[in-house]
């Protein structure tokens, strides 16, 4: 894997903005007027107690759920009404809780399928029958590059079903990368993992997705403190606090409502 570092965040270059985002389930408000502003290249973590509305927020951003009220801007454009697939094509990727890997297909096929799914204009099956070389080769080269990047080039022909645990994680990240995202949402990617698996997965995300803006929901507070540029704390659907890890750790409301009960 090539060693690359994440660039410092470019201030004033907003990739994602939510404006008064509301999501209700019946009378219950799961997302309560959330205003977010994520800078391009930022590593933003979302934390908060169970039921705070973290997953709902990601569902609104990815389009898995329609908003009740409010607006979502991506790259300065209103994407509130777009389908999940349209958002993927705009550059919003998502991983882990929604499994994106087909067990019966090989590692290579999984990555190429994901790449093709967002590049319909550049590549389509019918056209490729007549113009065999160019686009087909470009897609293959792109697939090879991604396999190399996630360290799966040696086992590209293996069936996804039989992969070892860590390789499966690599493939999931490869599949996200293949959709060419600018922003990637990770909802508790390390849920159920051991300490080593957790660290390995986070390292992999950081190593592979150096050019992407990352939003991470993660319960391991130490990890969040260490990795994030900024942290948003959600509580009962509302933003309770936001800032650098240090600012959030020192925030009295956060300590009272959340960290106090979680960290000795
Ligand atoms: P978190 O990810 O922070 O644990 P969620 O976003 O999953 O929280 O849920 C926030 C609240 O919204 C919870 O009280 C949950 O029960 C409720 N909720 C989430 N999804 C639905 C749904 N589809 N229907 C009804 N209530 C829901
Ligand atoms: Mg959740």
66, two tokens: 């329609």
pTM score above 0.85: yes
How many angstroms is it from 201 CA to the middle of ligand 2? 18
- End-to-end, the C-alpha distance of the chain in Å comes to 38
Q: Percent of the chain scored above 70 by pLDDT?
A: 87
Residue pLDDT, tens place only, 152-194: 999 999 999 999 888 988 898 899 999 999 999 999 888 888 8
How many angstroms is it from 181 CA to the middle of ligand 2? 22
Give me the pLDDT at residue 264, please. 38
Q: Within 10 A of 214 (CB to CB), how many other CB atoms are there?
A: 24
Residues 57 and 108 in one domain: no
How many angstroms is it from 116 CA to the middle of ligand 2? 30
Residues 18 and 85 in one domain: yes
For ligand 2, an ion, list residues with CB under 5 A.
54-55
Long-range contacts of 152-157 (CB under 8 A, 24+ apart): 152/107, 152/111, 155/107, 156/106, 156/107, 156/108, 157/106, 157/107, 157/108
Tell whether 264 is covered by a domain: yes
188-202, 211-225, 232-246: least confident range: 188-202
Give me the pLDDT at residue 120, please. 52
How many angstroms is it from 51 CA to the middle of ligand 2? 7
Give me the pLDDT at residue 263, please. 44
Measured from the CA of 234, which atom of ligand 1 is nearest? 3
Measured from the CA of 48, which atom of ligand 1 is nearest? 3
d(CA 138, CA 222): 42
Long-range contacts of 187-196 (CB under 8 A, 24+ apart): 187/54, 187/55, 187/58, 187/94, 187/96, 187/97, 187/217, 188/96, 188/97, 188/217, 188/218, 188/219, 189/95, 189/96, 189/216, 189/218, 190/218, 190/220, 190/223, 191/219
Tell whether 212 is covered by a domain: yes
Q: How confident is the model at residue 79 (pLDDT cuts 50, 70, 90)?
A: very high
Residues 192 and 76 in one domain: yes
Residues 168 and 189 in one domain: no
Q: Which of 163, 178, 193 is the last residue of a domain?
A: 178
Residues 68 and 194 in one domain: yes
Residues 6 and 59 in one domain: yes
Residues 72 and 122 in one domain: no
Tell whether 97 is covered by a domain: no
Residues 56 and 114 in one domain: no
50-64, 118-132, 192-206: which is most confident: 50-64
Are the CB atoms for 48 and 233 separated by under 8 Å? yes
Residues 74 and 53 in one domain: yes
Tell whether 96 is covered by a domain: no
Ligand closest to CA 234: 1
Q: Percent of the chain scored above 90 by pLDDT?
A: 60
pLDDT, mean of residues 229-243: 96
pLDDT, mean of residues 243-264: 79
Residue range(s) defining the domain that contains residue 169: 102-178
Find all residues with CB under 8 Å of 31, minimum gap 6, and list them: 21, 22, 23, 53, 56, 57, 60, 67, 68, 237
Tell whether 82 is covered by a domain: yes
CATH of the domain at 259: 3.40.50.300
Q: How many domains does the chain have?
A: 2
Residue closest by Cα to atom 26 of ligand 1: 25
Q: Which of 178, 208, 223 is the last residue of a domain?
A: 178
Would strands 14-25 and 28-39 be described as parallel, antiparallel, or unpaired? antiparallel
| Ligand 1 contact, 48 CB (< 6 A) | yes
Is pLDDT at 212 greater than 50 in this prediction? Answer: yes
Residues 185 and 84 in one domain: yes
Residues 190 and 171 in one domain: no
Q: Which of 160, 178, 196 is the last residue of a domain?
A: 178
Are the CB atoms for 178 and 114 separated by under 8 Å? yes
Residues 10 and 80 in one domain: yes
Tell whether 158 is covered by a domain: yes
pLDDT, mean of residues 76-99: 87
Beta partners for residue 78, in sequence order: 73
For residue 75, give Cα distances in angstroms to 19, 39, 40, 178. 14, 10, 9, 20
Give me the pLDDT at residue 193, please. 82
């Amino acid at each position: 894997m090539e060693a690359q570092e994440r660039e410092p965040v470019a201030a004033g270059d907003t990739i994602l903005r939510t404006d008064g985002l509301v999501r209700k389930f019946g009378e219950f408000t799961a997302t309560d007027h959330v205003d977010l502003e994520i800078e391009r290249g930022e590593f933003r973590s979302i934390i908060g107690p169970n039921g705070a509305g973290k997953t709902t927020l990601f569902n609104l951003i990815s389009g898995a759920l329609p908003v009740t009220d409010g607006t979502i801007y991506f790259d300065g454009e209103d994407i509130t009404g777009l389908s999940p697939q349209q958002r993927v094509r705009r550059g919003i990727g998502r991983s882990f809780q929604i499994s994106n890997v087909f067990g019966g297909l090989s590692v290579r096929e999984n990555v190429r399928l994901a790449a093709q799914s967002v590049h319909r204009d550049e590549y389509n099956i019918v056209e490729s029958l007549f113009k065999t070389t160019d686009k087909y080769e470009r897609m293959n080269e792109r697939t090879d590059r991604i396999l190399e990047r996630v360290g799966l080039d040696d086992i590209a022909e293996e069936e996804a079903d039989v992969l070892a645990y860590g390789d499966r994680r690599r493939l999931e990240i490869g599949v996200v990368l293949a959709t060419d995202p600018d922003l990637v949402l990770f909802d508790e990617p390390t849920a159920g993992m051991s300490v080593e698996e957790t660290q390995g997965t986070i390292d992999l995300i950081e190593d592979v997705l150096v050019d992407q803006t990352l939003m991470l929901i993660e319960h391991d507070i130490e990890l969040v403190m260490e990795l994030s540029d900024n942290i948003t704390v959600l509580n009962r659907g509302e933003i309770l606090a936001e800032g650098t890890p240090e600012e959030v750790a020192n925030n009295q409301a956060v300590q009272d409502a959340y960290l106090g009960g979680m960290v000795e």
